[in-house]
Chains A and B, each alone.
Chain A
């Protein structure tokens, strides 16, 4: 309905992914749990997910050009 939900989902998870990856990379000691840098790893996963959503949103737009 006028807004492809993939945009906000993609944007939000890309943003959170960047935040977590950054935090995990720079503050590795604070980011570990059970000897895994979970912030870094999960941050990357979220980033990939967000980007995939955005790709979906962009291809959706080119397939169905928005009506006025």
Chain B
């Protein structure tokens, strides 16, 4: 009997673990040791530790950009895949070093758990680049898009259209620091107008898992509460904007109330062409890969962190002053949709599905 109980408890625990790990984002676990290429000695070898190579983005956009930057400098590329396991990533970092990597680029599964491995690499004289996700170590170079900047661009596009009125704000996952960075960016743009009373924030909430369906329910409740007297919606990403627009659609307000978003989701870009979403801030992953590759080469050639091109100081949430390269994202609105088409991010047929011809320049 006790034995059975033990199994049940064990199973329940496993379930909770599984639920937690899948809550961290869309991850599919991968089996085995990951792709590893061996290095030859004597030249620059850049080791990249991916946290989860199964996500489409890394293979399709980031890795080719890093490789291209390294090829241009004649450096070699080796990589490992941690398969969403913070434990495995610690070993991966050691493996990359023993394979001869003299610079590391780490996309951390867990920015805190990776700290011992990062510190030990730096102690061995191997520079570390924190790629896209924060690692709270002042000796590592942090390369990311400026998330406060993303928030600023989102708010600016909406503020230009609605300088006075009632705003609703749909924020992302509370546990994700990005949700607060974005909100900070909003404040930088609309804060003064809020203080002067031109803008009223009627409603504001976090949304579990950045879930679009949840955002739809939230927006419905906001509209009910305010009796539809909402003039603009700041939604932190495109997935939630999907829900917001669906809720507005049900009130016949879609296209009349500006809605923001980010990520350049294909569905969101289509909505921009249709006129039901105002802006999607797009972070070109290839820019990020290129910057990381170039920085890696400079560090391998002996440059100090502060000498790397384009760095600035970033005061992190953990209270550290980090050396950082902050890339500027692009705000995509109906006026510059051609940017994403030209970049090959989306094809014109997908972008213009259901769009009457001649309403936006990108859809002739």
Q: Do A and B come from one complex?
A: no
